[in-house]
A = this chain, B = another copy of it.
Amino acid sequence: MVDFIFEEHFKVRDYELDLQGIVNNSVYQNYLEHTRHEFLNAKGLNFRELHETGYDAVVIRAEIDYKKPLRSGDAFVVKIGMEREGRLKMVFHQQIVRTADQQIMVNAKIFAACIFNGRPIEPLFIFEKLGI
Contacts and interface: CB of A to CB of B under 8 A. Distances in A.
A66 B56 contact: no
B61 A19 contact: no
A21 B19 CA distance: 5
A66 B56 CA distance: 14
Contacts of A59: 25, 66
A15 B14 contact: no
A21 to B, nearest CB: 5
B51 A60 contact: no
Contacts of A69: 58
Contacts of A130: none
Contacts of A41: 73
A41 B75 CA distance: 14
Contacts of A103: none
A90 to B, nearest CB: 14
A63 B65 CA distance: 9
A129 interface: no
